[in-house]
Structure 1
């Protein structure tokens, strides 16, 4: 078990990619703080499965788009499970709208959850690591849209592009303290956020035509890379983004 004896905090882990990462971490030996914003039932179900694996789990509600709740989340997780060794910034959202119709509320919601949440949750954890002279692992869940344009999703692309640079900057700033910072950029993954595409036959066919591996990814595809980056197998890896997209980002055909 590659994460035996470790404790992880995973934001947005009541469903989708975050849920799968939480469950995979538990199978690899980690205790897990499960964060949710909306559904306590879903979060408790994840925690129950983790406990069935023989690991400890705590459920913490927090809206990471609010800085005070980022601090509350980390404080409660730390108090319940002890020092956190691994932080996975997974919580995210998108709002589809033509650029000229994006409202300030849309902008604040998307940038708040995707970027501000990552920034200030990380800050709350790193402050504790530095105070205790502890090393740690940070894994940011980005998107292929840190690299690929996505018309109708300007706010989402802006947030994920910022995550790319934040990952690199923090890797440089925190490396001397034994803290690694990496990112995962998922492509088309079968989750609720893109169900309208993956479950529509015509849209799905068009999407598959742009993916060299010719399949939609699964949350488990992302969780496997998250385990690697959180483990000692990646002890000399920092500032990197791993594209989990079936080859879509770099595919071009004429």
Structure 2
């Protein structure tokens, strides 16, 4: 059997219905609902892989960033993944079961960006949580890694790509990407399969950048 095969594996994916990070119900849920998610699902399904990809964006100048928007971004993008990673690992560890966790970070985990202070902070936090969790769980058979997408054609970026007022911004980004184009959600598939499969069994705490060469520029 190929080490990249996922035959017989079951994955729990948050934010999996739109793009790679559009928040679904999780983004609207309060803390109690998020904390109930893993116990409820794990009671009826055997989960082998957890993918945390739900995310939201609120663009504001930093000096004008309202607290409510900041808290919404942090809750969805960083607090919810923390809770889900914690609860999934607790479930696996209590049973001596191995598992794979894939968090979705961002190139904003490494760069501050403009008008995205809360988003950059949350994604920086996701990258660091990935490493911290990995330090504790690697010896116990749980791989925790992350994918850091670059500029991707999703609902989150539709305004930047279609708004006539942002033409120059869109063009400047595109020109700076060595691959010459924005990524598509399907460009994440290979990285996800690798990190979810046995091929990555010795990969721990990695933040795998998939950005068309953006950060290498």
Structure-1-length-normalised TM-score? 0.78
1:236 corresponds to which of 202, 206, 216 = 202
CA distance in 2, matches of 1:207, 1:115: 26
Pairwise CA distance, 1:171: 0.7
Please give the per-residue CA displacement for 1:199-246, whole angstroms capped at 9, x wherever unaligned: 354433211111001011010111221111000011110111111110
Q: Secondary structure at the match of 1:249?
A: helix
1:36 corresponds to which of 17, 24, 31 = 24
CA distance in 2, matches of 1:240, 1:74: 24
Structure-2-length-normalised TM-score? 0.91
Partner of 2:147: 184
Kept in 2, the 8 Å contact 1:145–1:161? The answer is yes
Out of 92-101 and 62-71, give the one that drifted further: 62-71
Kept in 2, the 8 Å contact 1:183–1:242? The answer is yes
The CA RMSD over aligned residues, in Å, is 1.8
Q: Secondary structure at the match of 2:81?
A: helix
Partner of 1:17: 20
Larger RCO: 1 or 2 (CA < 8 Å, sep 6+): 2
Instruction: Confirm whether residue 138 of structure 1 aligns to residue 101 of structure 2.
Output: yes
CA distance in 1, matches of 2:170, 2:119: 21
1:5 corresponds to which of 5, 8, 18 = 8
Partner of 1:77: 41
Kept in 2, the 8 Å contact 1:70–1:124? The answer is no
Partner of 2:172: 206
CA distance in 1, matches of 2:35, 2:10: 17
Please give the per-residue CA displacement for 1:137-192, whole angstroms capped at 9, x wherever unaligned: 00000000001121111000111111111111111111111001101110111000
Pairwise CA distance, 1:16: 0.6
Kept in 1, the 8 Å contact 2:49–2:196? The answer is yes
Aligned residue-pair number: 211
Instruction: Confirm whether residue 114 of structure 1 aligns to residue 77 of structure 2.
Output: yes
Q: Secondary structure at the match of 1:215?
A: coil
